[in-house]
Amino acid sequence: MSIDRGPDHSRRKERSRQAILAATRELVAEEAYEKVTVEAIAARAGVGKQTIYRRWPSKSAVVFAALLALSENTDGQSVALPDTGDLEADLKLVMRATAEEFADPTFDRLIRALNTEIANDAALAAEYQDKLARPLDDAKKARLRSAQEAGQLDPGADLDLVLEVLYAPLFQRWLHRSAPLTTAYADSLVEATLRAFAP
């Protein structure tokens, strides 16, 4: 005798979650962030407003979840940077990808919206650090430690400082829209950083 187990609630919840996150990304890309509402997200996703509020406490939390979902590693492996043995080539690959990502209009509007909220929400800033920024920084520092062990980077270098020297100029150029984020610019940041922290 077969047993009727009813609908697969977990699958339905996951479909609903993905629809909400996709709707959030679409609306932030289409509208000024201030005009995006939880009601509009719910309507676009085809769910009730309370479905969103049961999972996330605010619009900013939904936006963060939508951004975080873009970096979800579906194979369950930890984040890792390329390690071919050539630090300069590996960092240039990563920095070019970073510059390209920040130059993408959809990602640009999403991350600007999130940064607006982070500036005024200490709890969201802490969650951003815990769930996204710190794991990425840990992966970057693991690659830099490998370079230190290989004699390609100053063994006494403060790796947090190395990352700041490498990434902060790109972030500032993006934040202020002062100049384009080109491949040449990404390469120049890698070259300058490696000169500054040469062994």
Cα distances (angstroms) measured from residue 80 to each of 85, 129, 141, 144? 14, 17, 10, 11
Residues 6+ apart with CB under 8 A from 161: none
DSSP secondary structure of 88-156: HHHHHHHHHHHHHHHHSHHHHHHHHHHHHHHTT-HHHHHHHIIIIIHHHHHHHHHHHHHHHHTTSS-TT
Q: Does residue 18 come out as left (phi exceeding 0), alpha (psi in the -120 to 50 range) or beta?
A: alpha
pLDDT score recorded for residue 4: 46
Task: Give this prediction's pTM.
Answer: 0.79
The low-confidence residues of the chain, meaning pLDDT below 70, are: 1-7, 72-79
pLDDT score recorded for residue 79: 66
CA–CA separation, 189 and 30 (whole Å): 32
pLDDT score recorded for residue 141: 97
